[in-house]
Structure 1
């Protein structure tokens, strides 16, 4: 199943809320999505976790100028600006939200309970200080779009070499699920984002989906950026062959994560420029 990073939902709808384009209740509903509950812990002035609606209002009062996404993985601190304590938490989660203007960051901690098919998901966003500095390795939308076009070609060629047609029913179901979701969820970003950002995000999600299928069982797209779970390998492969496959996929996946961050951060970038 193709999933969207929670940091992306929080940033996108948080930015729309700050711009006055959506009411608070709508923003909270879109951020929470299919989860049961979101809370924020560690907000300045609060002694314990608070609800998401209150937290968003408090962040605005603390000077929030926008919400930025980070999708770091070990060796690639994408979107982070420090300090080390925040970076360490964000790397463990492989996603985070930075709040420029308030010098704060939010890292999700997800807990699940209940039987399969009826899982209850709660999210606690841990709030920590961050540095007001340019985030690491975030491209412009134009740069991301150019990189993605090449990455999509690379991923498609790789899938052809791996013989996706023989990858088994799980991979085929994953591909169909991606196509169905792309058709259903036309609004991939919140109001206020430029059309180019939505186009880049859709393409980045497609590339992430192809990478997840190519990786095989349990692939999740990397970096909190979403992907398919449960795809099968097209054929039995040796450890060395799997290492070669991963080496080929790594730069493609990295490009897709960079593009997702560029898309989610686009309206903040535009606001700062204008």
Structure 2
């Protein structure tokens, strides 16, 4: 059964899992079986199509696909989390960017000009649904990814942004924006996360990602009017306050997932 937003205010992007565990596999810190199991999570199946050297329109499992990327020269993977007006992590061309923007996420290979975008299919009756994921591989431009910060920058931005948003939400005094929202966030924190990123990631990246997850949970709780009904005007005010923090949280997530390749020089 699929979790609802109320059950889990933060949903890890599938491209994040593929980036983290694909990097662990490519670096030799995870076995293929462990990596694929972690990427698929509760989904029923993941398939990949469009990789160079395969029969057109054929489907392959993640183990084959990651091995094929390694053979082609991939040194690692990077995450992109684009939204309209903010192509975070993308490099072009327009065809790939458009597909990634529609999905809200993508994975870009490091060392070879290819990227992967997930297409998610939910099937079955309500209450007993399953999920299948098809990853489409397309060419990408070899260029610096858009607007990706370092871990240092991301950590500073998160701390500043969360303080500012907490003050502003409380000052707004709209139903559920202050104490109720923060209590819901604390409940999310207490649940904890046993699996953050993948073997081989620096501890600082784990810390940044956990902070970004908490911020994303706060955004989801606040945007949903947690605790009471709110008016359209109140919701508009809340969205205006939270929009900069959403950008900050997405930048931090990308920095954390990409740390295994972007922070090697450190």
What is the distance in 1 between the residues matched to 2:48 and 2:184?
A: 33
Task: Give the structure-1-normalised TM-score.
Answer: 0.87
Residue 234 in 1 paired to residue 228 in 2? yes
Which blocks of at least 5 consecutive residues in structure 1 are unaligned? 217-230
Q: What is the aligned partner in structure 1 of residue 26 from structure 2?
A: 18
Q: 1:172 to 1:201 in 2, by over 3 A?
A: closer
Q: What is the aligned partner in structure 2 of residue 58 from structure 1?
A: 68
Q: CA RMSD in A?
A: 2.1
Q: What is the aligned partner in structure 2 of residue 69 from structure 1?
A: 79
DSSP-derived class of the 1:186 partner: coil
Shift of 1:39: 0.5
Q: What is the aligned partner in structure 2 of residue 81 from structure 1?
A: 91
* Runs of 4+, deviation exceeding 6 Å: 165-168
DSSP-derived class of the 2:12 partner: coil
Q: What is the aligned partner in structure 2 of residue 253 from structure 1?
A: 246
Q: What is the aligned partner in structure 2 of residue 222 from structure 1?
A: none
1:196-232 deviations in Å (ceiling 9; x for gaps): 000000000101111111111xxxxxxxxxxxxxx64
Shift of 1:167: 8.9
Q: What is the aligned partner in structure 2 of residue 34 from structure 1?
A: 42
Number of residues paired by the alignment? 254
Residue 129 in 1 paired to residue 122 in 2? no
What is the distance in 2 between the residues matched to 1:25 and 1:117?
A: 29
Q: What is the aligned partner in structure 1 of residue 158 from structure 2?
A: 148
What is the distance in 2 between the residues matched to 1:139 and 1:252?
A: 15
DSSP-derived class of the 1:193 partner: coil
Residue 116 in 1 paired to residue 120 in 2? no
Q: 1:85 to 1:25 in 2, by over 3 A?
A: same
Task: Give the structure-2-normalised TM-score.
Answer: 0.89
1:20-70 deviations in Å (ceiling 9; x for gaps): 111101100000000000000101111211111110100100110100000
Q: 1:195 to 1:167 in 2, by over 3 A?
A: closer
What is the distance in 1 between the residues matched to 2:128 and 2:185?
A: 24
**Cα pair 2:166 2:178 within 8 Å, conserved:** no
**Cα pair 1:156 1:210 within 8 Å, conserved:** no
DSSP-derived class of the 1:99 partner: strand
What is the distance in 2 between the residues matched to 1:45 and 1:241?
A: 54
Q: What is the aligned partner in structure 1 of residue 5 from structure 2?
A: none
